[in-house]
Chains A and B, each alone.
Chain A
Amino acid sequence: MAMLHIVNKSPFEKVTFDSCLGHASAGDSILMIEDAAVGAIDGTAFADKLKAAMADKSIYVLAGDLTARGLSEDRIIDGIKTVDYAGFVDLTADNETTQSWL
């Protein structure tokens, strides 16, 4: 069963994102929203961990949360997809279950 994991905490501040990566299964999707959006940027201390997870998981980031923090979409890691709120809704509909990592 494919699951959508939603993370809203910065990977630089909390271990939530790490824990999510450790518990998500192959074939799952991970959506970064709110402060977690900063983790989508390439060249950070967190980027390698996320790239490793991308081998068997799909990663998404909410575009509005990137731009709110002054981060443009062309700086995110190759392979991460940006979504708007409608895309967020589609993700929750396309996955059988959802888990919010608070």
Chain B
Amino acid sequence: MASIEVGGQTIELDEEGYLIDLASWTPEIGTALAKEEDVELTDEHWDIINFLREYYEEYQIAPAVRVLTKAVGKRLGKAKGNSKYLYSLFPYGPGKQACKYAGLPKPTGCV
């Protein structure tokens, strides 16, 4: 099984790099997961990651990209609620990549 070291602790990941134990997530783990893919997280990244975590808390699912885009637009403004902006932050796909850093499962319906 894959894993990363964060603050002296071994964090277990699945074969695609998603957290096994969702409850163990910390912002430090999010930063470390991003670093694994050579991504330096900015405030703009964190806006999306925090939004995803709140969404998961409320609905117990990671939203599909289309749903994420619409919801971000409503919450953070139209300039950010479009796939161009989200893909500029998360080029591997805002659903897959941002959910990974947020410690959430891969979105249901991620195709």
A and B touch in the complex (CB under 8 A): no
- Residues on B close to A: CB < 8 A? none
- Residues on A close to B: CB < 8 A? none
